[in-house]
């Protein structure tokens, strides 16, 4: 539809119609193409509001959506279509590895291809917008939603942001098989105080701008259609009412022209924060700030008319919000094709198809991170291996936010190992949850009905299996429901029953390789002590079992690197590689010096730092070669290393470029990731890897809050993780 037609449509709409375009209701309000007034009326939503709503969330299925859309347009005074939105985080029916795992691939193509598959499946099921990507920078493993992020690094998140938006939307989101992307959660939702979900955020503006905002901006620049506000406060103002954040930064500085949507009931929660005295004032503050769509409250629908008619709000503010909603529908092509790609036959063809499963498996294999290996891996098929642990048969490995995927469609480790014909025996050993435990998940309640007597029998069977085996693969970790939204944890170790299983197996068989399932970095000191190998597989998705079997048995080598540091202990968090310099930085050569920035009882450093990961082979690095020792304004230099596979197997290495600003007008990080390249090398093969360094890579917000690069000395580090000491120095000169 031409823009002038949209403006004409806006002009023709009544005040109530315009207000209702800003309302988003839940799918439970609609059944079989008609409005279900029961649950809606119970929550205070009127039938008129629902009938004239602009969008709806969490309705899926082509047949169902087409019926609802048809009925909605017939009943709407101007026959304006709904937009159907849903949380498609790491896949629709075919679940890819969780986003944190995708970050471990250090390969944005993995994220882009996963988003393409998700868009193709979701669009066939009638979904037109996904509440993804989540681009919150995460540095506190206590927060359950770290599993939705790509990790602790600003640059890595920014690269992935662009790839994800391009994967969902392609060149044009109205094209078949594409859906609109909604960036979330704006802003800094990944830094809640104490790692507790829905808690507030305290950040300096410089930290916000240098570390947290760039990934959101990368997605905006990539053309994301929507941005979702975060639950938290920033500068002590709830994001949905934060005019500086939404109008000045998002729209003014980043140039975002799309639609801003609140998170679930976030506008009403402005009152809970104590910034608004009632829901009416919350509505006023949110619209003034620039929040266009009110998700699942009646703040807008019940109070905007009164606010406008009383003169407290200018109707022009309403018009600009409604126009953005209409423009969103136009960008999706809904005025010409209100059903977009919803197609029952396409659903049957593409959902969980062989091609999508293959891509999910290949993605999973790139995400696994080998933390330890004392020669026990890879396994040989002729070896007698006991696969023990709750995750040997577990299918709840698709990720907490895979709410439309079915666990029954996932491939377990047992199924994957059986498929490759290995000499293996299996014993569960224990449940992932303690006997009698109840764990609410995102859309299920998980419960262990096992008695203590039954649990002991399982443990005894596992010990017997371990005694018969040459090696043990112990499949342990977090239950899927222990990660994700509302899953903050103060104790980030594995459950006690699994610790007991580990200890008992180690008592009878020392040849243990742990396969760790997790949605966050964990405290794994005891695992490290008792196991000869540790392979982190995260929540690997639908094809997890097949991917794990192929990596364990050496059909391919693990190639992932940590996107988020694993703490030595929970007392360190938030812990991350690019911390700031301090006046009394810990000197390991002076352990007797009390007066340093240090813990008295644990190391300062995480157990495994960002960018770390082993392979089944080894790599050597030459020294860093710079094309010049001076970088001039608007110029460029290159940093090069030669990487060689000095082992006996083919493997992948992610070569990482870090830069440290040695002196700044404000304190600078000890180093920052500024580039990476993943390469596969045969035994004995070597390759030169070069990175281009420009002035733009050195910019930050200086003492005057100007985004600039300052002349001076810089150190370049190039290696296989964030602790590499392989370095060279150059000067930026103006």
Residues involved in catalysis: 263
Minimal CA–CA distance to 321: which of 693, 20, 700? Answer: 20
Residue 31 CB-density burial (10 A; 0-12 exposed, 13-18 middle, 19+ buried): middle
DSSP 411: P
Q: Name, in order, each residue with C-beta under 8 angstroms of 248's C-beta and a sequence gap of 6 or more.
A: none
In angstroms, the CA 433 to CA 420 distance is 29
Report in angstroms the alpha-carbon separations of 648 from 554, 677, 679: 12, 22, 16
DSSP 368: -
Whether the upstream peptide bond of residue 563 has omega within 30° of 0, thus cis, is: no
Q: What is the largest CA-CA distance in the chain?
A: 81
By DSSP bridging, strand 259-261 and strand 226-229 are parallel
By DSSP bridging, strand 533-536 and strand 233-234 are unpaired
Any idea which residue has 């509302």 for tokens?
Answer: 486
Chain centre to alpha carbon of residue 658: 23
Whether the upstream peptide bond of residue 133 has omega within 30° of 0, thus cis, is: yes
Q: Token pair for residue 615?
A: 């392979």
The neighbour count for residue 684, using CB atoms within 10 Å, is 10
CA atoms within 13 A on the CB side of 137: 27
Report in angstroms the alpha-carbon separations of 650 from 113, 421, 618: 24, 23, 10
Minimal CA–CA distance to 335: which of 129, 80, 52, 66? Answer: 80
Angle at 259 between CA 330 and CA 193, to 5 degrees: 155
Residue 374 CB-density burial (10 A; 0-12 exposed, 13-18 middle, 19+ buried): exposed
Burial 499-535 (b: 16+ CB within 10 A, else e): bebbebbbeebebbbbbbbbbbbbbbeebeebbbbbb
Does residue 624 contact residue 725 with C-beta atoms inside 8 Å?
A: no
Question: For 569, phi and psi rounded to 5 degrees?
Answer: -150, 160
Burial 443-475 (b: 16+ CB within 10 A, else e): eeebebebeeeebeebbeebbebbeebebbbbb
Residue 236 CB-density burial (10 A; 0-12 exposed, 13-18 middle, 19+ buried): exposed
Whether the upstream peptide bond of residue 733 has omega within 30° of 0, thus cis, is: no
Q: Token pair for residue 286?
A: 């949110």
In angstroms, the CA 492 to CA 510 distance is 25
């Amino acid at each position: 539809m031409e823009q002038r037609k949209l403006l004409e449509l806006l002009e023709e709409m009544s005040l109530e119609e315009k207000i209702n375009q800003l309302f988003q209701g839940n799918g439970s309000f609609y059944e079989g193409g008609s409005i279900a007034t029961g649950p809606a009326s119970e929550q205070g939503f009127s039938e008129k509001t629902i009938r004239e709503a602009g969008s709806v969330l969490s309705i899926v299925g082509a047949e169902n959506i087409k019926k609802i859309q048809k009925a909605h347009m017939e009943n709407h005074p101007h026959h304006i279509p709904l937009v159907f939105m849903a949380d498609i985080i790491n896949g629709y029916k075919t679940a890819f590895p969780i986003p944190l795992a995708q970050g471990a691939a250090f390969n944005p193509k993995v994220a882009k291809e996963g988003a393409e598959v998700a868009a193709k499946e979701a669009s066939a099921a009638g979904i037109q917008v996904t509440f993804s990507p989540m681009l919150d920078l995460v540095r506190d493993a206590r927060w359950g939603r770290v599993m939705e992020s790509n990790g602790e690094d600003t640059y890595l998140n920014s690269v992935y942001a662009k790839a994800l938006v391009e994967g969902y939307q392609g060149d044009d989101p109205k094209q078949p098989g594409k859906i609109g992307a909604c960036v979330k959660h704006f802003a800094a939702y990944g830094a809640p105080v104490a790692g507790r979900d829905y808690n507030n955020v305290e950040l300096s503006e410089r930290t916000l701008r240098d570390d947290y905002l760039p990934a959101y901006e990368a997605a905006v620049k990539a053309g994301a259609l929507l941005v979702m506000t975060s639950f938290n406060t920033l500068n002590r103002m709830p994001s949905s009412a934060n005019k500086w954040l939404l109008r000045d930064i998002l729209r003014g500085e980043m140039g975002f022209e799309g639609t801003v949507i609140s998170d679930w009931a976030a506008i009403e929660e402005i009152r809970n924060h104590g910034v608004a005295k009632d829901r009416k004032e919350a509505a006023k503050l949110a619209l003034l700030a620039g929040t266009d769509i009110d998700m699942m409250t009646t703040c807008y629908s019940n109070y905007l008319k009164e606010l406008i008619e009383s003169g407290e709000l200018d109707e022009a503010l309403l018009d600009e919000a409604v126009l953005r909603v209409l423009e969103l529908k136009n960008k999706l092509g809904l005025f010409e094709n209100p059903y977009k790609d919803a197609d029952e036959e396409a659903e049957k063809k593409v959902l969980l198809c062989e091609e999508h499963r293959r891509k999910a498996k290949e993605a999973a294999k790139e995400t696994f991170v080998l933390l330890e290996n004392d020669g026990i891996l890879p396994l040989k098929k002729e070896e007698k291996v006991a696969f023990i642990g709750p995750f040997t048969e577990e299918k709840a490995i698709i990720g907490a936010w895979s709410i439309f995927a079915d666990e029954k469609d996932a491939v377990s480790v047992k199924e994957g190992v059986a498929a490759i014909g290995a000499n293996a025996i299996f014993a569960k050993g224990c449940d992932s949850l303690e006997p009698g435990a109840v764990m609410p998940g995102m859309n299920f309640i998980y419960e262990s009905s096992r008695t203590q007597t039954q649990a002991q029998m399982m443990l005894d069977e596992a010990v017997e299996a371990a005694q018969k085996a040459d090696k043990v693969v112990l499949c342990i970790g977090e239950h899927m429901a222990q990660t994700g939204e509302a899953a903050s944890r103060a104790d980030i170790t594995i459950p006690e029953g699994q610790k007991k299983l580990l200890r008992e197996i180690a008592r009878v068989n020392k040849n243990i390789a742990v396969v760790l399932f997790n949605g966050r970095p964990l405290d794994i000191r005891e695992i490290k002590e008792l196991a000869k190998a540790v392979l982190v597989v995260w929540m690997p998705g639908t094809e997890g079992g097949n991917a794990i079997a192929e990596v364990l048995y050496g059909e391919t080598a693990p190639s992932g690197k940590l996107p988020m540091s694993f703490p030595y202990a929970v007392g360190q968090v938030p812990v991350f590689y690019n911390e700031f310099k301090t006046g009394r930085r810990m000197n390991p050569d002076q352990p007797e010096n009390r007066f340093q920035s240090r813990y008295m009882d644990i190391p300062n450093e995480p157990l495994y730092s960002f960018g770390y990961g082993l392979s089944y082979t080894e790599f050597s690095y030459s020294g860093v070669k710079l094309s010049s020792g001076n970088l001039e304004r608007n110029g460029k230099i290159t940093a090069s290393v030669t990487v060689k596979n000095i082992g006996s197997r083919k493997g992948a290495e992610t070569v990482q470029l870090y830069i440290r600003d040695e002196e700044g007008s404000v304190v600078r990080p000890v180093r920052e990731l500024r580039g990476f390249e993943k390469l596969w090398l045969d035994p004995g093969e070597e390759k030169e890897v070069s990175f281009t360094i420009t002035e733009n890579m050195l910019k930050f917000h200086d003492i005057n809050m100007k985004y600039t690069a300052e002349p001076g000395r810089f150190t370049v580090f190039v290696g296989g993780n964030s602790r590499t000491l392989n370095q060279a120095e150059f000067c930026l000169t103006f």
